Amino acid sequence: MTSASERRPIVFGVDALEPRPMALAWAADEAGRRGLPLRLLHAVPPASHDLRGFEEGRYHKVLREHGDAALERAADFARGRRPELDLATVVADGNPVQALCRESAHAGLVVLGSRRMNRLGELFSALSVTVPVSAQAHCPVVVVREPEHITQDPPYVVVGVDGSESSAAAVDVAFDLAARRGAALRAVWVWQSQLIAHFDEEAAGRTLRRLLAESTAGRAMAFPDVKLTHEVIRGHPVEELAKASRHALAVVVGRRGRGGFTGMRLGSVTHGLLHHAHCPVVTVPRLPS
């Protein structure tokens, strides 16, 4: 029997100015794979103070018309790819970040498109949608970058593990993603040796390998068909996880918490991966207490 929570839709954020076909394809395929509804959302932002001389009603009408057209194109694309989808389109008034976060409270996943940013783009990334939605959404958020990257055969998913509550939630999501794709799972714990220099590095490595195995043991039993490997790597978390993501189907990380990414807020790792990962990035909020 399918519960109400299992029927939570996948929400895709539609940008009227920049179509994201790879991200939309990912969202449509995932909805089809899970048998879930796909909800296409476009938000019409309020008039800027810079447009005081422009008739606000006309401004809103033009933006809404552009949004309706973008939604229609996105719906045609999704139906063409997955005709069986239960699909709905929604136009929301207001800030796109706030609209997507509201939708996330009743969603199974939120999917957004992105592109590789240059240094200037990183400087202004706080103004984008992907970073604040990934930080605030109530459900996992998937950011799919254009253009498509090259995956490896056999396929694999990467999960960053650090022993925190949000990391445990990320492990759950990563096993599920891997199982649905017939993929292997690489569980990676990255540590920075200079931050624990007063410990014996060999002993620290053994301890982290044990903690990594314990962090995945329960889910490994629940997903016996997923081939699981453990990797304890010394280095910078963003750099090492970005390397691991090069040919992955996805890299999954928890959104908040401290632990194995010693001395760093996990949000810093997530923020870095949104800019530097080579595959879709899945950020997962911690499990509700």
Model confidence pLDDT, tens digit, residues 43-88: 998 766 555 555 667 877 888 999 999 999 999 999 999 999 999 9
pLDDT band at 185 (very low <50, low <70, confident <90, very high): very high
Mean pLDDT of 167-195: 92
Model confidence pLDDT, tens digit, residues 124-139: 454 589 989 999 999 9
Q: At 103, which helix (H) or strand (E)?
A: helix 96-104
pTM given for the model: 0.88
pLDDT on residue 149: 76
Say how far apart CA 10 and CA 8 lie, in whole Å.
7
Phi/psi for 88 (5° steps) reads -135, 150
Smallest Cα–Cα separation from 139: which of 249, 288, 250? Answer: 288
Model confidence pLDDT, tens digit, residues 27-46: 999 999 999 999 999 999 87
**169 half-sphere exposure, CB direction, 13 A CA radius:** 20
Smallest Cα–Cα separation from 274: which of 104, 98, 114, 108? Answer: 114
pLDDT band at 258 (very low <50, low <70, confident <90, very high): very low
Q: Which domains does the chain have, with CATH numbers?
A: 5-146 (3.40.50.12370), 156-284 (3.40.50.12370)
Cβ atoms within 10 Å of 155's Cβ, excluding its own: 15
pLDDT on residue 48: 63
**196 half-sphere exposure, CB direction, 13 A CA radius:** 20
Model confidence pLDDT, tens digit, residues 230-250: 999 999 999 999 999 999 999
DSSP for 237-279? HHHHHHHHTTT-SEEEEESS--SSSTTS-HHHHHHHHHHH-SS
Cβ atoms of residues 152 and 243 within 8 Å? no
Is 50 exceeded by the pLDDT of residue 259?
A: no
pLDDT on residue 257: 43
pLDDT band at 266 (very low <50, low <70, confident <90, very high): very low
pLDDT on residue 4: 44
Cβ atoms of residues 41 and 67 within 8 Å? no
